[in-house]
Structure 1
């Protein structure tokens, strides 16, 4: 049986924490240092940690309550910070940031509703992870969108394809999560109504 200590200090939790740190470094490299190649490498590593934390948690039974909170937090921070920074730096249009921000605002309202009924949240769904991963693959490639050489143009085209698909998955996963919220709220209301 895992102790409270071992449930906190796990490899997946460390990777989720590292992802948050890497995103902060990405923000600095993109906005302050204008080191776009370095920013690309850093955010690519962050994307790898996003895959590894879930894989390790499932493969070696290192799931924890902290991990259930920290991993989605790292995902949301990444999904908000990266496009926002790319917009500030001039790599993506404002409407892309709005699409992603509105989705997270909708989910935040749903989470508040759940918390008001004593629920911490909903389980992470594969679609949500796939959306974040796809965005993490596509958005960094847009760092090359202002270059005119052939490789950069290919990278930029691929980046836009992945980013738009990731945004679609992001909203699709929101629909799935909202369905889970409706079921939880409905079950809660039925339980209260029972004598």
Structure 2
């Protein structure tokens, strides 16, 4: 008799269509729908949009839980951060286009993400892995949350809440980026010894 409980299934590092990756692919596919809803709504807020953004933002925890339980994959290690970046940068970019967020916040976020991605690829070529810090996870949560506050109709007049959340997320992004560079440099130095 075969156990059909999917929670007991494990996947190797080369697997592609795992439950975790499917969740991530759905997040990526639904992101343009959310961006379109933001652009077509005059206030960038509605209950359906808020619900969609909440699901897209929080489902990151689901794919992470599934991956840890069933096995991480190389494709998931690429797709999950990609989905986070698409949602975060895309959502904030829409809010900048609509005049809800300042462009400088988006520029700082993009510069940080590009710099970390470049250094990550350098570290990987040297055989180093520098995991995301807790501050980096909070950064992503707050940046997605800043967009989320705008999408909730009850907070239309609470612009300070979304802006405050955004700027705390930007600050944590810069701090976690600096931590990433320091940790990578230390690991590279100790590896060279």
TM-score (norm 1): 0.78
What's the offset of the Cα at 1:11? 2.3
SS class of match (2:66): helix
Q: Which of the pair has the greater relative contact order for Cα pairs under 8 Å at 6+ separation?
A: 2
**Which residue matches 1:105?**
114
Structure 2: where are the runs of 5+ without partners?
Answer: 1-8
Q: Distance in 1 between matches of 2:122 and 2:13?
A: 31
Contact 2:11 2:71 in 1 (8 A): no
What's the offset of the Cα at 1:103? 0.9
What do the CA deviations read for 1:124-163 (whole angstroms, capped 9, x no partner)?
332222211111112222346xx9xx75223x33222222
**Which residue matches 1:73?**
82
What do the CA deviations read for 1:3-56 (whole angstroms, capped 9, x no partner)?
54994332222222222122221222222x337324333222111111222233
Structure 1: where are the runs of 5+ without partners?
Answer: 191-195
Distance 1:151 1:141, change over 3 A: closer
What's the offset of the Cα at 1:112? 3.8
Query: Within the alignment, does 1:44 sit opposite 2:54 as a pair?
Result: yes
Q: Distance in 1 between matches of 2:163 and 2:89?
A: 17
SS class of match (1:153): coil
Q: Distance in 2 between matches of 1:48 and 1:113?
A: 30
Distance 1:95 1:5, change over 3 A: closer
SS class of match (2:156): helix
Q: Distance in 2 between matches of 1:159 and 1:100?
A: 16
Q: Distance in 2 between matches of 1:17 and 1:109?
A: 24
What's the offset of the Cα at 1:76? 1.8
Q: Distance in 1 between matches of 2:13 and 2:77?
A: 16
What's the offset of the Cα at 1:116? 4.4
